[in-house]
Structure 1
């Protein structure tokens, strides 16, 4: 048993879970740390697929009551509208993923690209936060998931599609997009969590199919450690972020992105 490989699996699992639902780009962090740990080969790419499943399961577990309620009340307008909004928001990312994912993964999955995206994204967060803080419009923002309109869902989905670029952050794009298009901070964050389920499941299923020949029994221990640590760290991150957004903005994440991007650029320079 390769203990060093298992240690790498543990580190990357924690990073995936901790960053997947924060506006700091989990893919970007995995690319950067994977480069530093020399774990960015084909096996590393397959490993990332597995730990993403752990992060998805954390969302399903944290919101199991809401998901169960939706599944058992499909005949109600509230549940039907919730599913419709998720489907509408899912479509732009699905189209972008099917048409551009292979090209972007082949040409733009590098630490330098991620660093640039982190920096640009950091400044975008600062800009959005300033606009959000000074919004004096009398129109009330969507205060909960049931108040999101299909048009708002579509706009958030279009914002999410930008996250196909590594370093942008899927959660960051959806949360900030939600804030721009009329959702309050907590609603935008929760919608981002729910929207992650179909988006990440679709992307993971596609990656599993494309790389199915790379899954071997010898890697089971590595997959198990990464999966479990991603699940646990994602669960903590979800609970922490929900509490955080109740009283804070996202400027701290913006500064983190900018500093990290500069450090990575300096390192590779």
Structure 2
């Protein structure tokens, strides 16, 4: 899912594909709807350059949206996108961390995609978001009052739908855990704002380390499936391998920092 930053104009791009064939509808209407909403946030005509269509959705609040690219009888695509409260690190910070990460070698789109991968992987590994995010939970998916919300580091819970729409509910917390509040009977769901408001310095550092590794992996000269290697000057080195001996990313420094944000009790009870 593509990610954009809150407080910035969200400029959407799209290409209609039928496998490897690009489709080019004459006119395309774009509709952006916030998750859980029944009315569109914005809608309008896309502009076209070749087989790429663009649409400026303006500034969107933090949350998840469904974008409908309607090319009429030619093609219709539904694409989810997310607006977050900030990045794990900026692209400028990443480039400044290594002279090899020039724009000529690694374009902005490629680096942004890798950053999205790092953010998603860090959340998968720890269960926690190190950037501010907002998710919609339908009423049927919301735990009963007193049950644990399926997000750590909850910042607020707001009602969606019904006469109390937009109102913020009181939330009881215990460390990074949060308990589900009672929601109004006529609500369609809740929006849960969660995640760190400021990225911890250690997470930013190892996030850039992991991103550099992902960008450079194909140039390392070590086969993807290798678990050890022998340099020309002799000796054998065992590689830290994702999925083995508790390694997640395969980079010991990164895995050690992430482990500190996932207490052992979470591993034992399987909460995520």
Task: Give the TM-score category using the shorter length.
Answer: under 0.3
- Larger-Rg structure: 2
Which is helix-richer, 1 or 2? 1
Normalized against structure 1, the TM-score is what? 0.24
The structure richer in strand per residue is 2
